[in-house]
Amino acid sequence: MDITKYFIHFRKPSQYIYAGENYLEVFRLEKNNYRMTGRIDNVSLLNLNSYELGEIKKSQLLDVETGLILNSSQFIFNIFEFDKIPFREKLKQDLVEWRLQKVFPEDVQLYEHSFFPVAKNKILSVLVRQNTKEKIEESFQEAGIDLIHIGNSTVEIIDHLLRKKSSPDFFVEVDNHLAIVVFFNESSPYYIRKFRIDRLEDISAEILKTLNYVKSSYSTVPSTYGMAINIENFEMNSLKEQLSESGLVESNLKISKKIIFPG
């Protein structure tokens, strides 16, 4: 999967910013590994102006080439299955955009559209608004932060699992009140659901509701899962116990925060 099509040409940055629902985390490259060096709470990247971003730059030493990973709140995902995918890139693009226009109610021209093959006959389509991209780029430029890559956490996790050619039957990504569940069959994603939760206690109920839908709609019986939970002080064991009571087993393939940073 070529995630480098996102917005800005990618090369491995000296640091990453992860933009969560209402916080930012800064990770700096040290000894070929990214280590968290700072966290700023009660902020949203989309509401920050260049002055506020400049103040964060002073406190977090954002003075080197920087990558940005956004959570999935601003992204729209579709998985399209075809009888055959053309080899030529232009024909492939025309086919994917034709399928997208059949299911997407808005003007596609208002969105940055990237798509990636995730199996011989499947395409992952990813949309984010053009003005979201432009606002981010403009704010970083005015704040004097050398932004060289913008990516998405869910896409990075999918990419990581595709590269390993191994995956749980599904993974759950939670960032505050935003949750994404991605189901895999033979290490290829086939269903994505994004939803919001008012209470953290509702996560297991929503996961099981989604699981029942997948079982009835795709004739599959998922049994293993992975989790990427971006919530401070979250009681993970309680969630695992609730999932275990429904016959679900946590995969040995761990999904950590670090795999959302490419390179």
Rounded to the nearest angstrom, the gap between the alpha carbon of residue 7 and the centroid of all alpha carbons in its chain is: 15
Q: Which residues contact 117 (CB under 8 A, 6 or more apart)?
A: 1, 85, 123, 124
Yes or no: say if 171 and 226 are a contact pair by the CB < 8 Å rule.
yes
Structure tokens given for 147: 């932004």
Q: What does the pLDDT read at residue 7?
A: 41
More confident residue, 83 or 253: 83
- pLDDT tens digit sequence for 164-174: 888 899 999 99
Residue 27 predicted with pLDDT over 50: yes
Residue 1: pLDDT band (50, 70, 90) is very low
Number of compact structural domains in the chain: 1
pTM here? 0.90
Task: Give a yes or no: residue 110 inside a domain.
Answer: no
Task: Give a yes or no: residue 126 inside a domain.
Answer: no
Yes or no: say if 1 and 158 are a contact pair by the CB < 8 Å rule.
yes
Do the strands 66-70 and 33-41 form a parallel or antiparallel pair, or are they unpaired? unpaired
Task: Give a yes or no: residue 191 inside a domain.
Answer: yes
Yes or no: say if 249 and 4 are a contact pair by the CB < 8 Å rule.
no
Task: Give a yes or no: residue 213 inside a domain.
Answer: yes
Instruction: Give me the CATH number covering residue 228.
Output: 3.30.420.40
Task: Give a yes or no: residue 66 inside a domain.
Answer: no
Task: Give a yes or no: residue 235 inside a domain.
Answer: yes
- pLDDT tens digit sequence for 198-223: 877 788 899 999 999 999 999 899 99
Task: Give a yes or no: residue 208 inside a domain.
Answer: yes
Q: What does the pLDDT read at residue 81?
A: 94
Residue 144 predicted with pLDDT over 60: yes
- Domain ranges, residue 200: 164-260
Structure tokens given for 39: 């966290």
More confident residue, 248 or 62: 248
Lowest mean pLDDT among 31-35, 111-115, 183-187, 253-257: 253-257
Task: Give a yes or no: residue 179 inside a domain.
Answer: yes
Q: What does the pLDDT read at residue 78?
A: 96
